[in-house]
Amino acid sequence: CKSGQICFSAEDPITMLRSFNPIARKVLSASASSASSRCPKAHHFSSNITRLGTDVLPTMSQAVVHNGVVYLSGQVDGTAEDLVGQTKNVLAKIDGYLDEAGTDKSKLLTSTIWLKDIEKDFGAMNEVWNSWIDPENKPVRATTEASLARPNLLVEIQVTASLD
């Protein structure tokens, strides 16, 4: 590694994880040249990030593609008045962003679903989800109850997917 680069061994995941932390990055950068002498198979990160949907909200991207993984922000819908309509609209948004990123729901890795009222709405959301999801390629999933950003929002869904 050259001075100023973040270096780590492929066999050293702790150092790799620390390199993502801005404070640790400064410490690691200071010792980068000594890291290369300790780690003959040293690597460094290059920035290869694509951001999609940056014009939707001023605070975030709707999707980020990095190292073959598509990360979607939590998707909501404020146009439908009921949970079934909101869930269908959110899943349509997810389909659109996945398509724009170059993948689809058959390559989902993870999903997180937040419901405003899990006791009341879990069954209806799950029915819509089950009709949408690829039955041969189900992601891991967590569903929980949460206070959402606006009172009219009933569901929020966030997913990650592979490009491969």
Q: Which residue has the tokens 């993948």?
A: 103
pTM higher than the cut 0.95: no
Tokens of 4: 């100023």
Mean pLDDT, the chain cut into blocks of 10 residues (164 residues total): 46 44 42 38 52 84 92 96 98 96 97 98 98 97 97 98 94
**pLDDT for the residue 148:** 96
Q: Which amino acid is at 148?
A: L
**What pLDDT does residue 67 have?**
92
pLDDT (0 to 100) of residue 3? 47
Q: How far is CA 43 from the centre of its chain?
A: 24
CB-based contacts of 101, cutoff 8 Å, min separation 6: 50, 52, 63, 65, 70, 161, 163
Rounded CA separation 110/124 (Å): 20
pLDDT score recorded for residue 47: 66
Q: CA 64, CA 97: separation in Å to the nearest integer?
A: 10
